[in-house]
Amino acid sequence: MLQKLNIQNYAIIDVIAIDFNASLNIITGETGAGKSILMGALSLILGERADSAMLMNKDKKCVVEGFFKVAGRRTIRQFLKGNDLDEEEEVVIRREIAVNGKSRAFINDTPVNLGQLKELSSLLVDLHQQFDTLELGDSNFQREVLDALAGNGNLLQEYAGVFIKYSKTKKELQQLVQQQADSNTALDYNQFLFDELEEAALKENELEELDAELKLLSNAENVKQQLSAIYFELKDSEQPITQQVKSLSNKLLTIQQYHSSINDLSRRLQGVQAELQDIGDELETIDNGIHYSPGRIQEVNDKISLGYKLLKKHSVHTTSELLNIKDTLQQKLNDILNIGEAITAKEQATKQLLLQCEQLAATITANRNKVITPFTEKVNSLLVQVGMPNAVIKVLLQKVPLNTDGADTIEFLFDANKSGRFEPLRKVASGGELSRLMLCIKSLVAKKLQLPTLIFDEIDTGISGEAAKQVGMIMKDLSAGHQLIAITHQPQIAAKANAHYYVYKSTKGDKINTAIRLLNTDERVIAIAQMLSGEKPTAAALENAREMVGN
């Protein structure tokens, strides 16, 4: 609820502070006293655009502050948390307009943008002005009204969760089907590429090893000749090198006693002799393993030729890269084979979720249908009370494809003169009719919805007498559970106030200011009597006013 409103330097307001009641707050005053200015200042903290022309004193800034009690309001807590704002039991909204026209907005002393301000203010205040009735003609609002009366809140949450899953699964199914279509186009080509690599039967590093083998085979005779010559000199000549080294080592042994270093040199010669013996043996083994084979050369040449062709085709340089490509192709082929199973499973999941959505949507539709007749009957009855005896409202509910709100489209239709010709509400109802219709509807759904502070700006335009009295009674009933702030010219409505504020002009120096004060019981009687009979009320008007306030 709006606990307090402070206004400084706005239009003809110097300084005003208003403490509001938790129930029905009525604001009255003479025409031109500044009631609409109050609403203009209030609209600033609700996110409306600022205009420096509204500054009373051009040398200082304008400040408007609203103090709201928000304890227990889950949606407001979520907003504050979601925007990294301090979560308090009281929310303070402040709007400042500098002398240069620039404005700043604050929530709990933290700067915010106008978008954030508007979002929060929509949760705190419902400012309903004459001709400001777009919400009533909005299909979302009309659906929310019907769902509130039908008690569809939890059911809609459950449905929305299932519908989101259904939409996601359906999209995934479409993607799989498209993927299958795209894959089938490339299937034959990928299969050909894979078969080609599979037939080549390459092993890790095979092309690199074959290349080395081909070089050896192509030079086999020369290699064997050189190897034979080397290990012949080492092992098999008339004076093999290994034997010569061994002989030299033995000679050193005979003189090792004469010099301390000779023993170590002798052991090193023995090591050299053993190493040369091993080298000779390995060279002989290599020589014995080399065989010139024209057939093998041809075989290796063919495999290398095939390998190089594949390397060039796939724009890679190593056997390992070719094998990676083969693995990738294998995976693609497997995916194509498996995608059919995935599609079948996804189709089944989509079908089950669709069935759940349809069942929940059918229940939601049934609940909506149940409340249409009692809703329209109550609204039409209230319309008679508020001075619209010929006005009739009805609800058109039509089936549409599943969407986030169910399977219905809802339209409020209106006939102002019982002509039998019903048109969408937003097209045919006048501003005054919409204002009273909105009051009737909100009075019905108030107990079902967590409505914010309701502000009605001259909702009584075009009515008087009994109709005004009935509007006042509806507002009084509505204020039992909600804070209402209303500007009115009707004494029947003003008499229902829990708190009655009077707006007037005062002179301060050479300037005229708007001021406001909370009336006591006697002042209320006088103010209402003036609304009944003029500035100097008659005794009868005073008695009538006293009776109205007493009732």
Per-residue confidence band for 305, with pLDDT thresholds at 50, 70 and 90: confident
* pLDDT given at position 137: 61
Query: Residue 533: what are its φ and ψ, rounded to 5°?
Result: -135, 0
**What is the identity of the amino acid at 428?**
V
Cα 544 to Cα 469: distance, rounded to the nearest angstrom: 14
Residues 312 and 203 in one domain: yes
List pLDDT tens digits, range 320-337. 888 898 888 888 777 777
C-alpha distances (whole Å) from 512 to each of 31, 34, 487, 502, 507 are: 15, 11, 21, 16, 5
Residues 477 and 331 in one domain: no
Residue 144 tokens read as: 């929310």
* pLDDT given at position 373: 95
Residues 181 and 328 in one domain: yes
Residue 107 tokens read as: 């929530």
- 363 lies in a domain? no
- 265 lies in a domain? yes
Cα 397 to Cα 225: distance, rounded to the nearest angstrom: 102
522 burial type by CB count under 10 A (0-12 exposed, 13-18 middle, 19+ buried): exposed
Cα 191 to Cα 201: distance, rounded to the nearest angstrom: 15
Cα 312 to Cα 290: distance, rounded to the nearest angstrom: 31
- The residue ranking higher by pLDDT, 127 or 409, is 409
Domain edge (last residue) among 276, 309, 339: 339
Q: Are strands 13-19 and 103-107 parallel, antiparallel or unpaired?
A: unpaired
Query: Residue 379: what are its φ and ψ, rounded to 5°?
Result: -65, -45
> Angle 294-313/153-200 helices, nearest 10 degrees?
150
Residues 204 and 326 in one domain: yes
Cα 141 to Cα 123: distance, rounded to the nearest angstrom: 14
Residues 463 and 319 in one domain: no
- 233 lies in a domain? yes
- 158 lies in a domain? no
Percent of the chain past pLDDT 90, that is, above it, reads 28
Domain edge (last residue) among 339, 362, 381: 339
- The residue ranking higher by pLDDT, 461 or 492, is 492
- The residue ranking higher by pLDDT, 374 or 99, is 374
**What is the identity of the amino acid at 327?**
D
Residues 20 and 124 in one domain: yes
Residues 278 and 210 in one domain: yes
Domain edge (last residue) among 292, 323, 339: 339
Residues 180 and 312 in one domain: yes
- 396 lies in a domain? no
Residues 204 and 318 in one domain: yes
Beta strands in 343-479 (DSSP E): 392-403, 406-415, 423-424, 453-457
Do 525 and 543 touch, CB atoms closer than 8 A? no
List pLDDT tens digits, range 464-487. 788 888 888 989 988 888 889 988
Residues 180 and 126 in one domain: no
Q: DSSP readout, 85-147?
A: ----SEEEEEEEE-TTS-EEEEETTEEE-HHHHHHHHHHHEEEEETT--HHHH-HHHHHHHHH
What is the H or E stretch that residue 3 is in? strand 2-10
Token look-up 């609800």 returns 395
- 257 lies in a domain? yes
Do 12 and 41 touch, CB atoms closer than 8 A? no
- 435 lies in a domain? no
Residues 229 and 335 in one domain: yes
Max Cα distance, the chain (Å): 157
Per-residue confidence band for 459, with pLDDT thresholds at 50, 70 and 90: confident
Q: Look up the CATH number of the domain holding residue 61.
A: 3.40.50.300
Q: DSSP readout, 134-183?
A: HHHH-HHHHHHHHHHHHT-HHHHHHHHHHHHHHHHHHHHHHHHHHHHHHH
Which range scores top for mean pLDDT: 70-79, 314-323, 353-362? 353-362
Residues 253 and 309 in one domain: yes
* pLDDT given at position 129: 46
- DSSP reduced 3-state for 252: helix
Domain hosting residue 211, numbered range:
175-339
- Mean pLDDT of the 304-312 span: 84
pTM of the model: 0.63
Cα 97 to Cα 114: distance, rounded to the nearest angstrom: 13
* pLDDT given at position 395: 93
pLDDT for 361 beyond 90 = yes
How many domains does the chain fold into? 2
List pLDDT tens digits, range 512-522. 888 899 999 99
- 102 lies in a domain? yes
